[in-house]
Amino acid sequence: MAEIRIRSSVGEYPVLIGRDLYENELPDLIGRIRPTSVAVVSHASIMGLHGKRLIEAIYPICGGENGVFQYLFAEGEENKNLSTVEDGYEVFLASGINREGLVVAFGGGVVGDLAGFLAATYMRGTRLLQVPTTLMAMVDSSVGGKVGVDLKGAKNAVGTFYQPQAVLSDVGVLGTLPERELRGGMVEIAKYGLLYDEIMLQKIGKWHDGLPENAEELDGVIAACVAHKADVVTVDERDLTGKRAMLNYGHTFGHALETATAYIHLRHGEAVGIGMLMAARLSELCGLAGEGLHEYHRCVLMPILKDVVFPRDLDAGRIVNAMQSDKKKGHVMRFVLLQEPQEPRLVESPGEALIMRAVADIMRDMKGD
Ligand code: GLY
């Protein structure tokens, strides 16, 4: 098992990565937190696949079924909204959980964000344990305390920073993850490779048929991503200095793609993957990077994105409009671009014409026109 410590303004917490962690680590972890009751926030499908293992580990520590309740909500980014949060508050209230309780976020990025927001706001803060079940959540979203929900026209527009007591990533659960979700996680790993880690890119370049069988290799890459994130969160927890903003590589375009397609047609990872292609093209067009950066990104990302069906009716104007409402900083749009691989730069206002051209170039490529 790997253990990475995250230092934050409210203390230090561990991210545990390995196998059989629900059986071997969860009881001790919850035993140390000593909650009066536990709210498991998840989806019915995840509970069906892995809930028994989780619940069996929690029951003995929390006084059996009276001490544990579930709030299950419908899957999909389109449900990561305030209405789902309000339903959650009602369930929490009816269960009697209070500030001495513990919220367990058991699922992927959507569950982690929404459950984290519930934990941060219910009774002004209930403790939180992140138990991610997707590759994307394990390598990125469960770590670092960003929690929140979407508004109709703007992803993650409502939220806060709320650090968990711990993150427990049992890599064994990825065995049941659908291929599309795995590839979304691989995009997020590629992001860490393109930003910081050439060796990681060499490793995932060999994962043509999906994740490696070798547990050590897979767990090692997940731990390496978390270690990169730990370095960033330690120096810029609240996303103020530009260091943490680098982790948004591909996200300005990606969020706009998700918003413009109403969170339905493209998964988060797919949108971020396409977003990184757009960012690489924009890096070339604005003269920051030499020609070849986009082609390099194609080599890294297209094997992962090969099955993505790009919505044919989407046009570049709609994406740029969505971007303007999603990522405003005053009237300036900020982009993470690369001078070359592992050399990220934050660029303000590269110019709408160039942005439009980068979007249009990649869309043509994705549509095969
Ligand atoms: N996923 C980007 C961040 O946590 O800042």
CA 118 to CA 33: how far, in whole Å? Answer: 18
Sign of CA dihedral 298, 340, 251, 120: positive
| CB 167, CB 225: distance < 8 Å | no
Statement: residue 8 has pLDDT above 90? yes
Residue 329's pLDDT band (boundaries 50, 70, 90)?
Answer: very low
Atom of ligand 1 nearest to the CA of 244: 5
Residue nearest to atom 1 of ligand 1 (CA): 141
Ligand 1 pocket: which of 113, 134, 136, 140 to mutate (most atoms within 8 A of CB): 140
Residue 330's pLDDT band (boundaries 50, 70, 90)?
Answer: very low
| Percent of the chain that is helix, strand, coil (3-state, to 5) | 55, 20, 25
266 CA distance to ligand 1 middle (Å): 19
131 CA distance to ligand 1 middle (Å): 17
Ligand 1 pocket: which of 135, 155, 229, 276 to mutate (most atoms within 8 A of CB): 229
Ligand 1 pocket: which of 15, 146, 255 to mutate (most atoms within 8 A of CB): 146
| CB 145, CB 164: distance < 8 Å | yes
Statement: residue 326 has pLDDT above 70? no
Atom of ligand 1 nearest to the CA of 239: 5
CA neighbor of 204 nearest in space, from 181, 230, 178, 222: 222
Statement: residue 169 has pLDDT above 60? yes
Residue 208's pLDDT is: 80
For residue range 285-323, list pLDDT tens digits in order: 999 999 999 999 999 999 999 999 888 888 899 999 888
Residue nearest to atom 2 of ligand 1 (CA): 247
**Helices and strands in the chain: count of H runs, count of E runs:** 15, 11
- Tokens linked to 119: 């934990």
CA neighbor of 181 nearest in space, from 77, 81, 260: 77
The arithmetic mean of pLDDT across residues 228-233, rounded, is 98
Statement: residue 362 has pLDDT above 60? yes
What architecture is domain 2-176? 3-Layer(aba) Sandwich (3.40)
- Tokens linked to 157: 């527009």
Residue nearest to atom 3 of ligand 1 (CA): 247
Atom of ligand 1 nearest to the CA of 248: 2
The upper half-sphere exposure of residue 202, i.e. CA atoms within 13 Å in the direction of its Cβ, equals 3
248 CA distance to ligand 1 middle (Å): 6
CA 40 to CA 330: how far, in whole Å? Answer: 38
At residue 12, the 3 state secondary structure works out as strand
For residue range 135-149, list pLDDT tens digits in order: 999 999 999 999 999
Residue 77's pLDDT is: 87
| Per-domain residue ranges of the chain | 2-176, 182-213+239-367
The count of residues in the chain is 369
Residue 200's pLDDT band (boundaries 50, 70, 90)?
Answer: very high
Statement: residue 327 has pLDDT above 60? no
CA 86 to CA 130: how far, in whole Å? Answer: 20
Between 312 and 283, residue with greater pLDDT: 283
- Tokens linked to 319: 């994406």
Residues with CB under 6 Å of ligand 1 are 140-141, 144, 146, 244, 247
Residue 140's pLDDT is: 97
Residue 358's pLDDT is: 97
- Tokens linked to 347: 């660029």
Residue 255's pLDDT band (boundaries 50, 70, 90)?
Answer: confident
Residue 261's pLDDT band (boundaries 50, 70, 90)?
Answer: confident
What percent of the chain stands above pLDDT 70?
97
251 CA distance to ligand 1 middle (Å): 10
229 CA distance to ligand 1 middle (Å): 8
For 194, 251, 268, 303, the CA distances from 187, given in Å and listed in that order, are 10, 12, 10, 10
DSSP summary character for residue 24: H
Atom of ligand 1 nearest to the CA of 145: 4
Atom of ligand 1 nearest to the CA of 141: 1
CA neighbor of 347 nearest in space, from 270, 285, 257: 285
Atom of ligand 1 nearest to the CA of 144: 4
CATH topology of domain 182-213+239-367: Dehydroquinate synthase-like, alpha domain (1.20.1090)
Residue 325's pLDDT band (boundaries 50, 70, 90)?
Answer: low
Helix pair 179-196, 293-305: axis angle to 10 deg = 160
Residue 314's pLDDT is: 87
Atom of ligand 1 nearest to the CA of 247: 2
For residue range 52-69, list pLDDT tens digits in order: 999 999 998 887 788 999
Name the strands in the sheet holding 2-8, side by side, starting at the edge strand that comes first in the sequence.
Answer: 2-8, 11-18, 166-170, 127-132, 102-107, 38-42, 68-72
Statement: residue 196 has pLDDT above 80? yes
Compute how many other C-beta atoms are within 10 angstroms of the C-beta atom of residue 187.
29
For 53, 108, 229, 332, the CA distances from 115, given in Å and listed in that order, are 20, 11, 21, 31
Statement: residue 195 has pLDDT above 70? yes
Atom of ligand 1 nearest to the CA of 245: 5
At residue 302, the 3 state secondary structure works out as helix
65 CA distance to ligand 1 middle (Å): 35
- Tokens linked to 270: 């797919």
Query: β-strands 68-72, 2-8: how paired?
Result: unpaired
254 CA distance to ligand 1 middle (Å): 13
Ligand 1 pocket: which of 15, 141, 143 to mutate (most atoms within 8 A of CB): 141
Residue 209's pLDDT band (boundaries 50, 70, 90)?
Answer: confident
